[in-house]
Structure 1
Amino acid sequence: MSQLTITLDDNLLQAAQEYARQHGQKLDALVARLLADTVRPTASEPQQTETIEERLAMVRQLSGSVKLPADFDYRVVVAEELAKKYGI
């Protein structure tokens, strides 16, 4: 694997390191994934897709990240937001 040296603003570097730490990743892996997601594969390279297991792992990681009251009814919130949006 090749190495790359980049120069970043100190604040950006600190924020990126914190983001990676909060998401349980190494900064270099995060940057590599970002670049891989950004660069489109050429016609000669097959497009790599995430496996179902990888997607399930992401969903499981997100599960429970938002705490809602026991009596929360999303339908009420949706109705209120639609009423605001359309002036009903």
Structure 2
Amino acid sequence: MCGKYNFQAVDRALRDIMGAVDERLQDVPFGSKVVVFGGDFRQILPVIKKGTRSEVVGQSIRQAKFWDQIQVLHLTQNMRIRNLGPEAISFA
């Protein structure tokens, strides 16, 4: 996983680009573009060579400036199993 500074750089770049089109978009996260992050951010941590636990957690995306403006969606159904018939599911 990338550190928070990588995502903040993309955020800043999109704000700058979209701010040139419309000044109101300079204050909107990611310049009002939809950005999808996938994964379990508690399990996928950035790699910091010889970093302590607090340094690793401090670099995670959940510590980024824009995280409080992110809408988190949780999966509720396993889409792979939903379309399979009962004969396809076997517990060997």
TM class, shorter-chain normalised? Answer: under 0.3
Name which one, 1 or 2, has greater alpha-carbon Rg: 1
Which has more helix, going by share of residues? Answer: 1
Normalised to the residue count of structure 1, the TM-score between the two structures is 0.23
Q: Which has the higher contact order (CA 8 A, sep 6+)?
A: 2
